[in-house]
Chain A
Amino acid sequence: MKFGGMATKVSFIGLLLVINLALSTAYCAEKNIRIIANQSVDIDRLDNDQVKRIFTMYQTNWPNAQPIVVFVLANQNGTHQLFSREILGVFPYQLERIWNKLIFSGLGEGPIRVQTESEMLAKVKQQPGAIGYVMTSEIPMGIHLIQLIEEQ
């Protein structure tokens, strides 16, 4: 009975550790993704729902009416996969379908695709109203970092 109780306690602690590890991984992944924007964007903070609304192309203007220009990495890119799952809360194939519906039914326009993070940084720096995301911590001058916050 005593041994059984000990085993249960050990299993419980093990379960907690696994959950904690999983949560930490998700937290780290989320922390490592940096939402970047062009210097012309005067927004400093966004929550996950707002970021999702922008990347699913539902919100196409910044609050000051400036058009939003969305840049994304390729579907199979590791940064894109993490960004899609951890920040937007959708699987990459779901995003792809949302954009396909916009593009091939006339409902809207899809995002602009770039191949690498360095290309992402260059395009976002150059394009007024632009938003994108990277994993790299080497953010060059002239890029505006947007802080990801808890839901408002």
Chain B
Amino acid sequence: MPWLCLIVFFMFAFNVHADDLKIHGFVAQGVIQAQDSNFVQNDGEVSLKLTEIGLNGSYKINNQLRVAGQGVYLNGGNRYPEGFRVDYLFLEWKLLSDADWQLKLQLGRNKNYHWLYSATRDVPHTRPSIVLAQSMYFDAFRDFALGVDGIMAVANTQNAWGEWDINLSYGSTPVSNKQRDRLLGVHALGKVNHDKDMQASIFWRPKASQWQFGVSLLEVDFSYDAAEQDIYFDGATKTQRMNLHFLYQSENWEFASEFVREKPTLNGLFFPSYKLKTASDGGYVQGRYFLNPQLTLMTRLDLYDRDRNDRSGKKLEALSDGNIPAYFGYMDQLTLGLTWKFAKNIQVQTEYHRVKGTGHLAPYLIPNTEFNQHEYWDMWAIQLMYWY
């Protein structure tokens, strides 16, 4: 990781002054159960696999250069690989920061600033719910959606129409075998490569308005190098994704909504001449009501269709000779939640999900029909969180 060496060099090349170093962190532990589903664990039992711990630092080298990094330990059961990871670590070069424009470049492992909650999806107290809307924030793809090792440009300006955020990123992410298993199942023996990831987004907050509108575009390339004794062949996939983002914030309530249209193409993998071109879509509408500074109510309707030309999943079932039930073609859920901030920097969050379908569970390409035998399933979670 040459970028890591570069950042460490900058950290040691300059004297560290305590005033220029900012440290923050968070700790959260919860209890979760996704009955009749392998979302958290295969047996669907009550689980403590809802741990999120993070520590971050930001050090100003001078008025233009800054190093920022965060390490996290996560345990989400089947949702993503358990363990420690570098969440972000980059060198920031501030080119401009005046009354009209802010422009900066980040080199290293960057965060995804392109969606409403992507930048802090692992930071419990910043989320509207413990489990985010899966149409947009699909947990099995979490590690690829978090950010990239590469370069990011962040710009912000204001003019007569309001405030504008513009973000551009380019890079890739190393893929571990555990992540491979979440995409292809445990029988895959080859190597998944995240070859290229390009994202762009623009957000607009109209002047004297509480609205925020955004659009983001993503193009991502993956390839698969099959092992000698593999059930898969070499393969490559390209996915294009367009998202729309809406946020309205009033004094006592908030409305948030995001929509996604994804167009994946797949060549090879299942057999050398295999070709698949499809389009999935989904989105959610979410409302939050602030009863008082301590208590927040949340409700959300989240819809996802794996193939927009097969919303019922019947073609999927037919093409698999009945091996994959139709309910793997979609995943819709209604969520109700409550957040209680009962002390400074401490809160407890709880929620209940009623889910129809299993279309957005890991492993994604080879659905797990053994542990997901019900079209309707429930999930609940409660999590205690502290941050500083």
Q: A residues touching B (Cβ–Cβ < 8 Å)?
A: 49-50, 53, 58-61, 63, 65, 67, 75-76, 89, 91, 93-94, 97, 100-101, 103-110
Contact = CB atoms under 8 A, between A and B. Distances in A.
19 contacts: A49-B158, A53-B99, A58-B97, A59-B98, A60-B94, A63-B98, A75-B293, A91-B251, A93-B290, A97-B126, A100-B125, A103-B58, A104-B56, A105-B88, A105-B111, A106-B56, A106-B69, A106-B90, A107-B111
B56 A94 contact: no
A99 B106 CA distance: 19
Contacts of B97: 58-61
A37 B16 CA distance: 27
Contacts of A108: 58
A89 B123 CA distance: 27
Contacts of A103: 22, 24, 56, 58
A104 B24 contact: yes
B23 to A, nearest CB: 10
Contact of B70 (A49, A53, A104): A104
A105 B99 contact: no
B240 interface: no
A101 B69 contact: no
Given A93-B290, A97-B126, A107-B113, A63 B26 contact: no
Nearest to A91: B251
Contacts of B278: none
A93 B247 CA distance: 14
B320 interface: no
Contacts of B54: 104
Given A53-B158, A89-B208, A106 B111 contact: yes
A72 B92 CA distance: 25
B63 interface: yes
Contacts, number: 77
Contacts of A91: 249-251
A75 B22 CA distance: 20
A49 B102 CA distance: 14
Interface range for B: 35 or more
A109 B58 contact: yes
Contact of B156 (A49, A58, A93): A58
A105 B119 contact: yes
B341 to A, nearest CB: 10
Give 6 nearest A-B pairs by CB, closest first.
A106-B68, A105-B119, A104-B123, A60-B97, A105-B111, A104-B120
Contacts of B98: 59, 61, 63
B11 interface: no
A92 to B, nearest CB: 9
A97 B249 CA distance: 11
Contacts of A89: 208
B226 interface: no
Interface string B247-271: 0011100000000000000000000
Nearest to B157: A58
A106 B156 contact: no
Contacts of B250: 91
A100 B123 contact: yes
Interface string B58-92: 10100100001110000000000000000010101
Contacts of A60: 94, 97, 102
A106 B70 contact: yes
Given A94-B249, A105-B111, A59 B154 contact: no
A69 B90 CA distance: 22
A142 B265 CA distance: 65
A73 B154 CA distance: 28
Contacts of B60: 109
Contacts of B88: 105-106
B90 A50 contact: no
Nearest to A97: B126
Contacts of B63: 61, 65, 67
Contacts of A93: 249, 290, 293
Given A61-B98, A101-B126, A106-B58, 7 more contacts: A53-B158, A59-B97, A60-B97, A93-B249, A100-B123, A103-B22, A105-B113
A110 to B, nearest CB: 8
Given A76-B293, A101-B126, A107 B94 contact: no
A89 to B, nearest CB: 7
Interface in B28-57: 54, 56
A144 B69 CA distance: 35
B22 A50 contact: no
A124 to B, nearest CB: 15
B120 A101 contact: yes
A63 B97 CA distance: 9
Contacts of B24: 103-104
